[in-house]
Structure 1
Amino acid sequence: MHSFDEVWNGVITIKHGLYGGGIFRFKLLIPDEFPDTSDTIAVVFTPAIYHPSVQPATGQLDCKQMFEPWKKNVHHIWHIMAYVKSIFSSIDCSNCLNEKAAENYTNSTEQFKFEVKKSIEQSNLHLLNDTDPDDSYAFRFAGSDDDGLKAIEKLMLTMEMFSDSTLRYKSDLRTLGLSWLSEKI
């Protein structure tokens, strides 16, 4: 059993590409002696995702090909995070952990896309379930109705906080950091 400082919970959202629309929960399992160890940090997706570099039974991402052995003066946790992000935009089928996914990616693009879509749906549904209710550090998600989300979106699109704490209308979403919101309400 890992302690809270050895397990980091994460969520990555993918906007574009084959995995676009996916929200994937994962855990970073940090070795006991980190950073004074040659053991690589493990990344485990919960639930397992359909990807050539992810072991289908455990959800573990193959990080060893990139970071084995772990070098504390060279490798950093942000490197692991960058690698996690990169697997969704640049699929590498060499040294794969899911041979069926690699085969479909190479030879049957439509089947691969179908399986990825199923994986995205499963992962997005899984977000609403607490996988470990005893873990007070895990991300918790709650569902909402479309009307509630639309009201929040409209509010965010029409208001901006200024340093003097007054609210003013703002139409340029990029300066608000809200470029991901739709301007159509």
Structure 2
Amino acid sequence: MTSKKPFTVAEHQSFDTLMMAACQVIGRHGYKGASVARIAEEAGISQGHCYKFFKSRDDILDHVIIWIMAQFENWSRKPSREGLGYLESEHHALEQFFSYQKKYPFFFRIMHEAEVETPTAWKSFADRRHAQYVDSLRSAIDSGEIRGYGPDQVDDLARFLSAVRRAIVFGAYEGTITDKIKVIANYDLFLRQALGFPI
């Protein structure tokens, strides 16, 4: 965003409305069809008002992946998740992902197209998520929950496991995975075997 002053409450609400409108438009028309005119109409504001927060259409679209993932993380961060072990946390995260997608059908399409359509924003998002995953794995290794991996292997392990999660998520989006309960159970079995948990 171009503004450097702190937002008022009304501006925060207006910004969130604009971002949600961009998500809805991308869900229907894809990134390529997400014009400022369509986003403004969806948000119920003038096109000029969009430029109060963003300098261009590309600037709006660059913010979508970061915004929607922040919304997802805030939505999925429940008190019951605290104190979960690594496997339970992974299981919970995948269930929450599918549940969020059911609530907001545009979610998968944004995830699917953002890497190609907004590569800089995607890289920023992907780097942050990778760092979080590395921290999660390192903590589980340090506590003895995950065995057989050393500190110099954590980065690669995070990439391997992220690829599996990505395959599940995009398989669900593309329709090749339809039984989400079964795939979560199989993912759990895979993690147990790959990370040395009891089966």
TM-score with structure 1 setting the length: 0.27
The structure where helix makes up a greater share of residues is 2
The structure where strand makes up a greater share of residues is 1
Higher relative contact order (CA 8 A, sep 6+): 2
